[in-house]
Every structure is written in C-alpha cells, then in structure tokens.
Structure 1
Amino acid sequence: MRGKVISKLKLVFPSEEYKNQIISYKEEFILNNDSMDGTSNLISYENIDEWLEKLKRNLKEETVDKGLVPATTYLVIREDDKRLVGMIDIRHKLNDYLLNFGGHIGYSVRKTERRKGYATEMLKLSLEKCKELNIEKVLLTCNKEKIPSAKIILYNNGILENEIKNGDKITQRYWINLKF
C-alpha cells in the first residue's frame, strides 16, 4: 500500500444529492484522459439523472440491460469532508466476459486522490459488500503492467490464478475467498 488512508471512507449508492460531485468526478477523468473503471459507463451519459436511473435498473436481473449482469455501483465518499474520491461497481455474478477479463469488482479513484491508500480501503469495503451478496469467491482482474493494482489485490488476500492474453495486453486473474 503506497499511502496511509487519511480519512474514513463510506460506500454510498449514487443519488441526486451527489449530482454535482459526480459531474466533477467525470470531468476530472476526462481532463486527465483517464479510464473511468467501476462507474457503470458514466462517461457515456450527458444526463446524470439518466445514469442514476440506469443504476437502479442494474440492481435486478429483470431490469438490467440485455447482455449485462446485475450490479451495484457505489460512490466512495470521504467522511470528514463528504468528497467523492472514487467509484466502485460490484457485479453480482459473472458472465463469460467478466469471468475472463472483468471480474466481480471494478473501481477507480480520481487522480487528485491517488496514492493515499484509498484504493486498498475501497477494495476492502467492496469485499464486505460481496459477502452481503453471498459471493463466496470474488474474481478481480487487472492489466499486468498495472503493478499498483496487483499490489492492492494481493494486499486484500488475492491469489493469482492465471494470465490471459487480451489483445496486446495481458490480464491477470486473481481470486479472493470470502468463505470462512
């Protein structure tokens, strides 16, 4: 873990209350030409209200978009100043693509909040949510060249199963056993 978490974090389901922060989060990623992992495709939505409605539909098998699996997206809020520092998407189950390349959890931390230990804490909080969803084994993936991501997974008891060629990149697949 690079940095020490300087503040307690909480996971919050996105709502109107955080609309301006969500817009700011998206703008920061666009400005930095950064990948918005774990945001349930926020980058594609001009209208945040439509994105918020999509997140509600994503919660259930009956209403999730065709080809996708049910998932819960969370805002990661720093408790002391209520700032949105990251986002997490927890897929309730895996399809073929997620089994090979995506995993159960996707997440991102805004650039201005990186190297503070937040991603490690975010993954820990995500694993607690996975337990609540009765997911006994959690799959996490990362690109092989993203060494900090691999370290975060390993710190949270991830065990490397294998590596899969994904175009010109290599995807590492890690499992975390939550069954005790």
Structure 2
Amino acid sequence: MPELVLPTTSVHESFLEAMDEFVAEGAENSQTAAWIEHNAPQWQDPTAFEVFVEAVKADALLETSRPDWHVPCTTLWWVDGETYLGRIAIRHVLNDFLLDVGGHIGYDVRPTRRREGHATAMLVGSLAWARGLGIESALVTCDDDNIGSIGVIEAAGGVLEDVRGIKRRYWVPTS
C-alpha cells in the first residue's frame, strides 16, 4: 500500500528509474526537473544519493541555508515498499511568487504510474502534514489546461479562487 514518507535511500534504484522517466518525458518547471538538473550524475553513487536525501529533508528546517527566493519546504515521497511513485512538496510559507504562481503544495507522479489515483492520494495525505505546519488552507495551483491536476485538486476539496495567466489557483482546506 503506497504511503507518504520522508525521503529515504531505500528507494534508490526505483528513484533512479523514475528520474529517467522524467528525463525521457522532458520534465521542466518542477522541483523534480531541478533535482535532475543539479544532481542526476551523482545519484548513481549510493553515498552521494544519501547526501541528496539528507539535503532534501534538511530543506524543511528554518536554519538550512537556501537562496533568498526559496522558503522552507517539507518534501514527502510517495512510495510503495521500495518503489518510488512520486513526490509532494509542502512550502511552509508563501512568498510573492508562490502566492501568485506556485502555491503551498506541488507534486508529481512518475510518468509510468500516472492515472492510478496516486496524485489525489498524495495531495489528500499531505493535507495533515500541511495542517501540522500551521497551514489552515493550502494554495495549490496548476496549469489551466491540466485536466488531470484540476481533477486531483478538486477531488481534494480545492475551491477555485481565480485564473492568473495560465495558472488556476485553488484553496484546499487542511482540516
């Protein structure tokens, strides 16, 4: 049964396979795409992968050094045993960019495991984590033409606030 967990080295092999799927798909403009761009060559080495996993977990801590435009972010991985299925990021606060475009929560599911209900389960499961971070209503955005994500967000209770450019902005209650 899939579950949300903090990043773990136990899914190393499956994680690498999933990242290859994202590369083949041409993933861009997501946290996963940024991970691939900055870390992919080193991931083959288990020690380097462990360093990466610890850095992703540390991003949730206030004291972690990060670029000025980044905010603390708790990342959870959606796994089934040792199989990596996707990731969800919960940004603890909203800066101007996140308020306008990115939102509190962003997610992606590996391409070969889409349309199986994983994104909805991940989003619904992450709401308790968001509530624990003091987020009463989470802003979740998606492209205006992303029918799949529109369905995911609305299934999780998202209420459309508006559309800004190509982005639909929903507020999802966390309780």
TM-score, normalized by the shorter chain, greater than 0.5: yes
**Residue number in structure 2 paired with 1:97:** 97
Whole-angstrom distance in 2 between the partners of 1:22 and 1:123: 20
Conserved 8 A contact 1:164-1:171:
yes
Size of the alignment, in residue pairs? 166
- Indicate the percent of aligned positions where both proteins have the same amino acid: 36
State the 1:38 CA deviation.
4.6
State the 1:107 CA deviation.
0.7
Residue among 75, 82, 90 paired with 1:73: 75
TM-score with structure 1 setting the length:
0.84
Change (3 A) 1:10 1:74: same
State the 1:151 CA deviation.
1.1
State the 1:55 CA deviation.
1.0
- Whether 1:29 and 2:22 are equivalent positions in the alignment is yes
Q: CA-atom RMSD, angstroms?
A: 1.8
- Whether 1:175 and 2:171 are equivalent positions in the alignment is yes
1:121-148 Cα deviation digits (max 9, x unpaired) = 1111111211221210100000001011
**Residue number in structure 2 paired with 1:144:** 144
Change (3 A) 1:115 1:24: same
Where relative contact order (Cα < 8 A, 6+ residues apart) is larger, the structure is 1
Whole-angstrom distance in 1 between the partners of 2:9 and 2:83: 15
**SS of 1:39's equivalent?**
helix
Tell me which amino acid in the other structure corresponds to 2:12. Answer: K
**Residue number in structure 1 paired with 2:13:** 20
**SS of 1:62's equivalent?**
coil
The structure in which a higher percent of residues are helix is 2
Tell me which amino acid in the other structure corresponds to 2:105. Answer: I
